[in-house]
Chains A and B, each alone.
Chain A
Amino acid sequence: GAGVSQSPSNKVTEKGKDVELRCDPISGHTALYWYRQSLGQGLEFLIYFQGNSAPDKSGLPSDRFSAERTGGSVSTLTIQRTQQEDSAVYLCASSSLTSTDTQYFGPGTRLTVL
């Protein structure tokens, strides 16, 4: 596809369960970012991948959150033992090597923890 895609679009889970959120960046983009957007809030940076470099995990809120990027393309954000405060929209963005500034966002995954 032409843009960033994310799946699922919506995820409802029970407190304590693990969830995996997927991001497919724009083909050829080397940088990938995950953000969290809570209702009525701006975007909160979570993690950043650039090429083969070690990811910048400084935004992850707890050790229940982790992310990986396989083959320099698809990324998965995993939340273990979900809590109600994890409910939010999780957004993925990518940018190209030659334009690391402009980030293009996917539609997001809305996570609801009951």
Chain B
Amino acid sequence: GESVGLHLPTLSVQEGDNSIINCAYSNSASDYFIWYKQESGKGPQFIIDIRSNMDKRQGQRVTVLLNKTVKHLSLQIAATQPGDSAVYFCAERRYNKLIFGAGTRLAVHP
């Protein structure tokens, strides 16, 4: 299917390197944040989440960092693999709605 996010900012990394994808959110009242991965032709897939009372959470090969002072969220992917190539969206929750960022395309090169 047609790719989503053809005009999105792109982060290019070498296979095996660590990737850091950044996101700025807008509302200091948002209490919950999620990172989604979207591959071409598919719906977004949940990766990891974090609540506002935390500043770091780790999953398998992924870590999310939350800096509430500057309203910044980041997703770190360790040992990036070709299968990690996708568009990554951060989302903040406000009143049961998820407000999504514009997305970042991650391109992994061998």
Chain B residue total in the interface (Cβ 8 A): 28
- Number of inter-chain CB pairs below 8 Å: 64
Q: Is the CB of A40 within 8 A of B96?
A: no
Q: Is the CB of B100 within 8 A of A106?
A: no
Interface residues of B in 48-104 (CB under 8 A from A): 49, 89, 91, 93, 96-103
**Contacts known (A101-B49, A110-B1); A42 close to B96, Cβ less than 8 A:** no
Q: Give the complex CA separation of A3 and B43 in angstroms.
A: 11
Contacts of A107 in B (CB 8 A): 41-43
Q: Is the CB of A101 within 8 A of B32?
A: yes
Q: Report A69-100 CB contacts with B as 1/0, cut-off 8 Å.
A: 00000000000000000000101010000001
Residue B12 at the A interface, CB < 8 A? no
Q: Is the CB of B46 within 8 A of A103?
A: yes
Contact of A40 (CB < 8 Å), options: B5, B41, B91: B5
Interface centre among A39, A42, A56, A107 (most CB of B within 10 A): A42
Residue A52 at the B interface, CB < 8 A? no
Expressed in whole angstroms, the minimum distance between the Cβ of B93 and any Cβ of chain A is 6
Expressed in whole angstroms, the minimum distance between the Cβ of B34 and any Cβ of chain A is 7
Interface centre among B4, B5, B45, B93 (most CB of A within 10 A): B4
Q: Is the CB of B99 within 8 A of A45?
A: yes
**Contacts known (A42-B89, A101-B34); A106 close to B96, Cβ less than 8 A:** no
Main secondary structure of the interface of A (DSSP, over half): strand
Contacts of A40 in B (CB 8 A): 4-8
Residue A25 at the B interface, CB < 8 A? no
Q: Is the CB of A39 within 8 A of B4?
A: yes
Can you name the residue of chain B whose Cβ is closest to the Cβ of A50? B96
Contact of A91 (CB < 8 Å), options: B43, B49, B103: B43
Q: Is the CB of A48 within 8 A of B97?
A: yes
Expressed in whole angstroms, the minimum distance between the Cβ of A11 and any Cβ of chain B is 13
**Contacts known (A45-B98, A56-B96, A101-B32); A39 close to B46, Cβ less than 8 A:** no
Expressed in whole angstroms, the minimum distance between the Cβ of B50 and any Cβ of chain A is 11
